[in-house]
Chain A
């Protein structure tokens, strides 16, 4: 089912929880709403579910306007953040609830039970009460209950936020697998960018009620449309600077770390404009004297602090005026660099992106 949000506003009194939201969610997608808490992503999901009414705008399911239909008429399945399993009903009763409301035959109910119990690997747990299950099992029951009615759209509200780190990784795979198996259009709300990047077919990043950018995980990572996206998705050095030269889409920008030149830019800028430069931490190479060293632009900086993580090392560097610059190097050679040493690092032009200057964006470093 294709889901369209058309100029959706949601106001509480005078404050906007969601403002002028336009979005098309492809049929069969695993579409993520990603953003910091309070960005309006859960409100948007609840409007899609029919649990909240938009203040204005339209919601379309396959082109049909469902804006004023109650939740019940939308054919959605929803997994709540706290799972909302009915504590007085067994797993089986929880799952059957929606099916009985649809007055399906006993045979059909049994068939669908077997199907979702199988898909969520809950065999042997159907007679238990929710209170007798672990967090991960409860999560799967909530998923099974939502899937049993074969929803047009599956809505997941931070479904993994109550699980421990290990279980969360397992459940990511589980949800991806179930999504592939069923092909149900799924909308997934999270504040965890790793979840969104690793699972999503498309991701919409939201901030303060606005949709900032929608695209595939790769697009968001490599082609952020703003300094907010650049710093929110992955980790980046966001340098403020001034355009000194602009010709044929190539820009020279002077920053606290020297002058950089690149042909990658979002928006058009002219000489004298204030801009942000985004340089990913992992795009900054450190000169260990080994080849190849990437030296299109070289910087000589002092090491403030080194974090050793095994598979990688994070270098927190500082220029003479105290501005920080970070580098993450994977698979480093053995070395005896220590805090206070002078380090040479290099960046290539294709890893530098010029972005419109945004006042409130922190550098993410």
Chain B
């Protein structure tokens, strides 16, 4: 080796040392962030639920379960979860079968429209349907004008609010189930079904005995997400006014958490419920992971629909889309209505509420805050997500499987739990949300969407041969130089898609925003909408206009993301 080469080597080892220090330092920081902002808050809640000044106690649980109001809220939330999941499932099975098995004109458009409800933060929908279903709302007026009823029906009476919440949850969450199921069905090699077909097995039997057993894990994975989401969603029951549910009770207890420790017990019940559901899913499906044999020539398995079937397909799809869009349409009409009194539709229309957004403080601050917070959290997600996915797929640290499990927890961990944990853990510290919630909001947004980013990046990394990185290492590149130059460009599409999703969901985050942002100046979009909704006068209309803006941003992000990811999108929403 010549001296010139020796110096080059020395320099390159120094560079490698620096780059490795930065790289592994970031990994260490990632683990620290996960510890302080995921593990610790949950641990604090659990410890406070079981420990009083006198040591271990079950007193808070006794108080919780002795209180009928509390127990009924637990049951109500569980029932909301079950009802939402069952209805989503019934709705998604035909939708996903149509999507994977049949070809028909307008398929792309209708499939796209089916996903639109994802952009609707369900609580914004709640504002819309109140306008439509109120005692003097459009529906009642329409029915009275036509002479079908004499007196207005109280659609949103106390007894109906449960179903109003369920309906809104279903309309928001069925796309997740549908995406999961479509991905699972698309994954079943059509030749497996064809093998049964050539044996003369009838169609219903093929579905029952071959296709569904193979797709069941997908159905179940979707159900889990939908159930937990519906169980712990705060915004919808809050705006519908269904106060007898767990998330609303927790929301009301946050402010005096330290005086009323029953709140800890209630949050612990939520944690326990979600953990049990996840464990049961692992036990049921953890071992039955069927490997599809190496695919030879893959036939698409998609058939052209005949006229009779076409009518059925269109009526299912168009019907679903029409119902799913009712809240959106109602929010839209509310946002542009001028003079809307005792008529089915407004008598005049206006854009003044959209103008008000930019003229008054609260709505504009809300948009600005949410944009900045979401950008920050998405940036954090990109860094953390790529690093975690890289470390896990390349097994760089011991216990990388554990790390993988850790970052997936937020998928099951309700936002209210995390937000509640942050408040109790960081009150009276330099991160006190009462003082300035910005750091905690960014971290909360980031941690809750980290699973999407990790999934998305992992998918890309798994398709990238490790030898591409080894080749780079042979030339003297450090691992993190290789990460920048070779790995990142190759998984860029996955990173962008994951980033868009993270951004979109951060923009419309409800539980963290409602709980952590306590002063006007820090209100994100959703809390601004909530605050406006509670205001008298034009608040409701400005809230709707603001909701529309939020939906537009979210639509753009989700369309972009699904264009990049294509069919793989469904896999992001798996437990």
Contact = CB atoms under 8 A, between A and B. Distances in A.
A185 B472 CA distance: 21
Given A71-B470, A102-B8, A149-B475, A88 B490 contact: yes
Interface in A88-107: 88, 97-98, 101-103
A82 B1 CA distance: 30
Given A84-B465, A102-B12, A152-B1, A71 B474 contact: yes
Nearest to A72: B476
Nearest to A99: B475
B9 interface: yes
A145 B486 CA distance: 15
Interface in B1-16: 1, 5, 8-9, 11-13, 16
A103 B8 contact: yes
B201 interface: no
Contacts of B9: 73, 75
Interface residue tally on A, bucketed by range = 20 to 34
B11 A84 contact: no
Given A51-B473, A71-B473, A71-B474, A103 B11 contact: yes
Interface in B496-513: none
B486 A86 contact: yes
A103 B471 CA distance: 18
B473 A80 contact: no
Nearest to B481: A101
A75 B5 contact: yes
A158 to B, nearest CB: 12
A101 B468 contact: no
A84 B468 contact: yes
A75 B1 contact: yes
User: Which of B11, B468, B478, B489 has most chain A Cβ within 10 Å?
Assistant: B468
Interface string B1-38: 10001001101110010000000000000000000000
Contacts of A102: 8, 12, 476
B477 A101 contact: yes
A272 interface: no
Nearest to B13: A73
Contact of A84 (B5, B16, B467): B467
A49 interface: yes
Contacts of B472: 86, 97
A77 interface: yes
Interface string A34-47: 00000000000000
A143 to B, nearest CB: 12
Contacts of A71: 470, 473-474, 476
A266 B339 CA distance: 108
Interface in B444-471: 465, 467-468, 470-471
A88 B473 contact: no
B476 A87 contact: no
A80 B474 CA distance: 11
A353 interface: no
Contact of B12 (A50, A72, A84, A85): A72
Contact of B468 (A62, A75, A86): A86
Contacts of A70: 16, 473
B78 to A, nearest CB: 47
B470 A80 contact: yes
Contact of B476 (A49, A88, A101): A101
Nearest to A142: B471
A160 interface: no
Given A84-B468, A101-B12, A72 B477 contact: yes
Contacts of B485: 97
A98 B471 CA distance: 10
Nearest to B16: A72
Contacts of B16: 70, 72
B414 to A, nearest CB: 40
Contacts of A84: 465, 467-468, 470-471
Contacts of B473: 51, 70-72
B471 A78 contact: yes
Given A73-B9, A87-B490, A103-B8, A80 B467 contact: yes
Interface in B119-135: none
A86 B486 CA distance: 7
A25 interface: no
A131 to B, nearest CB: 12
B16 to A, nearest CB: 7
A102 B465 CA distance: 24
A154 B9 CA distance: 18
Nearest to A88: B489
Given A86-B486, A98-B476, A101-B477, A80 B471 contact: yes
Contacts of A81: 467
A50 B476 CA distance: 11
A76 B486 CA distance: 19
A103 B11 CA distance: 10
Interface in B424-438: none
A117 B304 CA distance: 52
B148 to A, nearest CB: 64
Interface string A238-254: 00000000000000000
Given A80-B467, A81-B467, 14 more contacts: A49-B474, A51-B474, A72-B476, A73-B12, A73-B13, A75-B9, A78-B471, A88-B490, A97-B477, A97-B485, A102-B8, A103-B8, A145-B471, A152-B1
14 contacts: A51-B474, A62-B1, A72-B12, A72-B474, A73-B9, A73-B13, A76-B474, A78-B471, A84-B465, A84-B471, A87-B490, A88-B489, A101-B477, A103-B11
